[in-house]
Amino acid sequence: MAKKKFPLAHVYRLLEPGPVVLVTTAHAGRTNIMAMSWHMMIDFEPPIVGCVVSDRSHTFGILRKTKECVINIPTVDMVKKVVGIGSTSGRSVDKFKRFALTPGAASYVKAPLIEECYANLECTLIDTRGAARYNLFILKVHKAWVRPLGKIVRTIHHCGRGRFRVDGSMITVPSTIK
C-alpha cells in the first residue's frame, strides 16, 4: 500500500468532514491506538488540529509524555476494528495485534502509522494549556500521507451508540453563489 506524501496545505480536506480517526502513540517499547471523533482543524498551513483526549484513556498520559502521535483515518471497511479499538484499553491490550493491524514507520515521529488506514498525519503536541480544564490538546501536523486517489474513499462519522454515518455522494457547489 504505497502512499504518497500529501500537501500540508490540503490536510484540512481530510479532517474537516469529521471522520472518526485512530490516534496512535508509542512509549517504552509499546504502541497504542485510540478511536477519536472529537477533533477539528484550527489552521490550514502548517495544519493545526485541536482534539479532546479523555483523561481516563491510556493515550492521555502517553501523549503528554511523548508529545507526539499519528492521526490515522480509517475507511468504512475497518468499522468493526474501529469499534473494537474504541471498546478496549491499551493498558491491557496490544491493539495492533488484537485487531490485526500493520504498524508502519513514520518519518517525523516515533508513533506508528496504521498501514491499513487511507491517510496518516504525523503530529506533535504543541499546546496543552486546555488539557487540565477540557482535556483539549493542540497538535501540529508535520507530515501527511495518503493512499493514491482513484478509488472512492468512504470514511465513517460516529453518531453515538455505535451508529455511524457512512460517506455518501460528493457534490460540488461553486462559491459563486451569492
Q: Which residues bind to its own copies, rule: CB under 8 A?
A: 10, 12-13, 16-19, 37-43, 48, 50-52, 76, 79-80, 82-84, 86-88, 98, 127, 129-130, 133-136, 138, 154, 156-178
- Residue 36 vs 111, nearer CB to its own copies: 36
User: 146 forms bridges with which residues in the sheet?
Assistant: 4, 119
- The whole-angstrom separation of Cα 129 and Cα 160 is 28
How far is C-alpha 29 from the geometric centre of its chain's CA atoms? 21
Give me the least distance between CB of 148 and its own copies, in Å please: 17
Give me the least distance between CB of 91 and its own copies, in Å please: 14
Give me the least distance between CB of 110 and its own copies, in Å please: 26
Long-range contacts of 12-16 (CB under 8 A, 24+ apart): 12/41, 12/44, 12/47, 14/73, 14/119, 14/121, 14/144, 14/146, 15/39, 15/40, 15/41, 15/47, 15/49, 15/71, 15/73, 15/121, 16/41
Rg (CA), the chain: 16
Give me the least distance between CB of 139 and its own copies, in Å please: 12
Give me the least distance between CB of 104 and its own copies, in Å please: 24
- Residue 29 vs 174, nearer CB to its own copies: 174
- Residue 100 vs 173, nearer CB to its own copies: 173
- Residue 74 vs 104, nearer CB to its own copies: 74
- Residue 4 vs 107, nearer CB to its own copies: 4
- The whole-angstrom separation of Cα 82 and Cα 136 is 22
